[in-house]
Amino acid sequence: MATIETIYLGELRTENEHFQSGNKVITDAPVDNRGKGEFFSPTDLLATALGSCIMTIMGIKARDNDIDIDGTKVEVTKIMASDPRRVAEVIVEFHFPKKNYSEEEKQIVESVAGTSPVPLSLHPDLIQTIKFNW
């Protein structure tokens, strides 16, 4: 059974429904590629998935080790390349709350950053830059 259904709405816009939850996400082509840029672009979602997946696996590791990372923010920067047009680099920068983490706790959380499904599924030519701000 399919996981997601995508319907093309015209004007370079899609509506994507996640079957299990019923949640929907709309995408637009970015303005620099003839779109309206009113919603996430597909490449924005790729970059978002990378940051979110890393945050999730760090959350699992933190929870398993009784480390409180609630409130951690991640800023994701997508850098495009051309010829062919593609995502060349994604910079994922984590900002942890000021909770006096020990060096061991930091190492435990950071150790899993590149081991989740999205980072491991992306093409090796895509540069994944991960930064930690404690």
- Would you place residue 27 in the very low, low, confident or very high pLDDT band (cuts 50, 70, 90)? very high
Q: What angle do CA 11, 81, 95 make, to 5 degrees?
A: 95
Question: Domains plus CATH for the chain?
Answer: 4-33 (no CATH), 42-133 (3.30.300.20)
Closest CA to 134 of 89, 61, 67, 52: 67
Number of residues that make up the chain: 134
Q: Considering just the CA atoms, what is the radius of gyration of the chain in Å?
A: 17
- Would you place residue 24 in the very low, low, confident or very high pLDDT band (cuts 50, 70, 90)? very high
pLDDT 10s digits, 60-116:
999 999 999 999 999 999 999 999 999 999 999 999 999 999 999 999 999 999 999
Q: What is the mean pLDDT of the chain?
A: 97
Give the pairing type, strands 13-18 and 24-28: antiparallel
Q: What pTM does this model have?
A: 0.94
* pLDDT at position 39: 97
Distance CA 4, CA 130 (A): 29
* pLDDT at position 68: 98
Average of per-residue pLDDT across 19-46:
97
